[in-house]
């Protein structure tokens, strides 16, 4: 079974990974998801629920014409943002991991040496062979934006993929900001929804 929450939790609890990830693979560690960041009760629900909560809350606010960014986030109910079946959860989890790793690659800071360090740490983590193989493959492969976008089989999942990409980086470089802008266009996200995702996640929106 491919468990997105388990992958994020294993990575974010490794102190060496946190330091390495903070410099270039922030999305892989995804510390912002499980260390607060205004997510409140979603933190305890896991990373998948946290990303779903960002996208779900932003979606609701965009449909209502916008609202205060400080409005509490909600765990999305079973449905478009939170698949109830295991197959759906695994497919969405893989799409979000792929999105996070791709975003972390956007500024080119994950070099061969850093990948090797991450590989070594992953080997020691409590992950299944399938989970390790998937992360290894995604880290080793070239940045493929089309593969990220292909995971957006519904508009709701498109919003979640963008939210996962957003929290994966600090968006403090021109390359990261350009990547997010391009991603939002390729995902065909409404500008109002993109704005709300940034507000909900507490991240400035690139110009």
Q: Give the domain ranges of the chain.
A: 4-201
For 23, 33, 38, 175, 186, the CA distances from 28, given in Å and listed in that order, are 11, 11, 20, 18, 22
How far is residue 180 CA from its own chain's centroid? 12
Q: What is the mean pLDDT of residues 84-108?
A: 85
pLDDT of 56 over the 70 cut: yes
Contact between 145 and 183 under an 8 Å Cβ cutoff? The reply is: yes
Whether this model's pTM surpasses 0.85 = no
List of residues 6+ apart from 180 with CB closer than 8 A: 103, 162, 165, 166, 169, 171, 206
In whole numbers, what is the pLDDT of the chain averaged over residues? 75
8 A C-beta contact, residue 11 and residue 28:
yes
pLDDT of residue 153: 92
Distances (CA, A) of 111 to 6, 20, 25, 149, 151: 25, 12, 10, 23, 25
């Amino acid at each position: 079974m491919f468990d997105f929450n388990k992958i994020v939790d294993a990575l974010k609890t490794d102190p060496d990974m946190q330091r390495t990830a903070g410099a270039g693979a922030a999305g892989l560690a995804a510390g912002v998801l499980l260390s607060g960041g205004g997510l409140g009760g979603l933190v305890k629900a896991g990373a998948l629920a946290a990303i779903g909560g960002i996208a779900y809350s932003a979606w609701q606010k965009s449909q209502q014409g916008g609202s205060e960014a400080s409005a509490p986030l909600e765990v999305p109910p079973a449905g478009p943002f939170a698949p109830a079946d295991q197959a759906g959860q695994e497919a969405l989890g893989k799409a979000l991991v792929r999105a996070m790793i791709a975003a972390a690659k956007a500024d080119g800071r994950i070099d061969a040496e850093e990948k090797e360090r991450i590989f070594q740490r992953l080997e020691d983590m409590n992950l299944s062979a399938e989970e390790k193989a998937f992360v290894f493959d995604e880290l080793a492969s070239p940045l493929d934006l089309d593969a990220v976008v292909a995971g957006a089989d519904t508009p709701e999942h498109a919003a979640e993929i963008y939210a996962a990409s957003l929290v994966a980086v600090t968006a403090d470089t021109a390359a990261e900001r350009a990547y997010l802008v391009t991603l939002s266009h390729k995902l065909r996200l409404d500008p109002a929804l993109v704005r709300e995702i940034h507000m909900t996640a507490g991240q400035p929106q690139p110009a």
